[in-house]
Amino acid sequence: MKSIADLSNDDGSWNTDLVHDVFGVPLGDKICKIDRLPVDHNDILVWKEAGDGIFTVKRGFQSIHPTQDNSDSSFWKLIWNQSTHFRHSTNIWRLVSGCFPTRDRMVFVADKACPMCDVENETALHIFWECHCARAIWFSSPFACFGRNTMTMTTVKDMLQGMLTCLPNDLKGNFLNFLGSLIEGVWRARNELIFKGKRINIEAVRCAILRKYNDCLLAGEADSTIGMSIKQARAGGKITSATEVVVVCDASWKEGEAGLAVGMMETRGKKICWFAKKTKAESAAEAEIKAIRWAMDIAAKEGYAAVAIASDAMIHYELYHILSWLDHPLRVLIFVRPPRQNNF
């Protein structure tokens, strides 16, 4: 006897005589009082740990990791908060999860020493916090929040949580953006030392990190702005029926060199054209401004009066004021910003 079917009649009811023979009359009577499902009822899979019986990946994960508490959930919500740039959130997640290929994690590398100080073994905690290069950057940063509660931390997650407890809530997003900028800057300097033999210049690394951090702050300010008003047009973010051409512009920047790209597509005709050039710029923010201004100039030169410009970096409030006094021939100028999360 292997299943309930062996104790059932053909119509799905209990075989009372057989149940009594197997379990006795008292227990058999109790069993036979249990209602049976109709014969034509299909079997279903039920997740017993859920009240509704439905299985989800989240519930499966929670059953495997029952010790995960609310504080851990709050920590990850802070890391993936919209105030932190998606690229920085990803790098911080990789760092906390142990995904950076530091020498202590590479079994095939015999020399475990940190290439930047050649004193301690290279670990994620060491290269981004404990190494003298990292300490110099942290000491001169806007978030020099080393304290007694961070000196004894043994994991990246503990260190990060310890530093976050030292900060007010309104600065935690900025701190995570700075940490993301530091991770990129230090890791790039480390790789250039290993693979290109380029000596570490702490001041240059520090300036690059602060520049990236400031650009991130400016972009964040622009993202929080709903709209802008300039005398040539309204920047409502929607392409109207009067728009003659849609212009897409973007910029890349590295070490004072900027690459500008502009694409144009007529809304009624079939004309599509692209433009690109190199120019000088002091920062990524300036490069984006130059790309937008160049797009406006090209549109005016081509004879368009009503233009929609799509850019993923509405740089900062100063840009809006600059556009307000520019003597530009464009009659209607609409800015459209694609979702930033798609630009990674």
pLDDT of residue 306: 82
What pLDDT is stored for residue 335 in this prediction?
A: 61
The domain in which residue 19 lies consists of: 4-51+56-64
Q: What are the distances in angstroms from CA 20 to CA 4, 9, 27, 200? A: 14, 14, 8, 86
The domain boundary, picked from 64, 89, 107, lies at 64
Same domain, 201 and 101: yes
Distance (Å, whole) CA 344 – CA 334: 24
| Domain identity same for 165 and 209 | yes
Looking at the structure, do residues 89 and 60 belong to the same domain, yes or no?
A: no
Burial (0-12, 13-18, 19+ Cβ within 10 Å), 45: exposed
Helices (H) and strands (E) in the chain, counts: 13, 7
Residue 238 lies in a domain: no
Based on the fold, state whether residues 318 and 202 are members of the same structural domain.
Answer: no
On whether both 266 and 209 belong to a single domain, the answer is no
- pLDDT score for 128: 95
* Residue tagged 């033999």 (tokens): 197
Same domain? For 252 and 298 the reply is yes
Burial string for 148-178 (b: 16+ CB within 10 Å, else e) reads eebeebeebbebbbbbbeeeeeeebbbbbbb
Q: Which two tokens stand for residue 197?
A: 């033999």
Boundary (domain end) residue, out of 64, 96, 112: 64
- 232 located within any domain: no
Residues shown for the chain: 344
Residue 342 belongs to some domain of the structure: no
Q: Does residue 39 lie within any of the structural domains? A: yes
Residues of the chain with pLDDT under 70: 66-71, 145-151, 220-239, 312-344
Q: Which of 5, 29, 34, 33 is nearest to 19 (CA)?
A: 29
Q: Verify that 117 and 167 share a domain, yes or no.
A: yes
Residues 6+ apart with CB under 8 A from 42: none
| 74 occurs within a structural domain | no
Core vs surface per residue 280-300: b (16+ CB within 10 A) or e = ebebbbbbbbbbbbbbbebbe
Q: Are residues 47 and 112 in the same domain?
A: no
The confidence score (pLDDT) of residue 344 equals 39
* Nearest residue to 286 via CA among 315, 328, 309: 315
Tell me, yes or no, whether 127 and 15 share the same domain: no
**Is the same domain home to 216 and 273?**
no
Residue 29: per-residue pLDDT: 93
**Residue 253 corresponds to which tokens in the numbers above?**
């920047």
Instruction: Give domain status of residue 233, yes or no.
Output: no
Within a domain: residue 72?
A: no
Query: Using CA atoms, how far apart are residues 225 and 247, in angstroms rounded to an integer?
Result: 21
Task: Show which of 192, 225, 258 is a domain's final residue.
Answer: 225
Kindly state whether residue 124 falls inside one of the protein's structural domains. Answer: yes
Enter the pTM of the model: 0.52
Number of domains in the chain: 3
Please tell me whether residues 37 and 105 are part of one structural domain: no
Q: How far apart are CA 196 and CA 51, in angstroms?
A: 58
3 state SS of 38: coil
Distance set, CA 63 to CA 44, 60, 338 (Å): 21, 5, 39
Domain co-membership, 112 together with 194: yes
202: three-class secondary structure by DSSP: helix
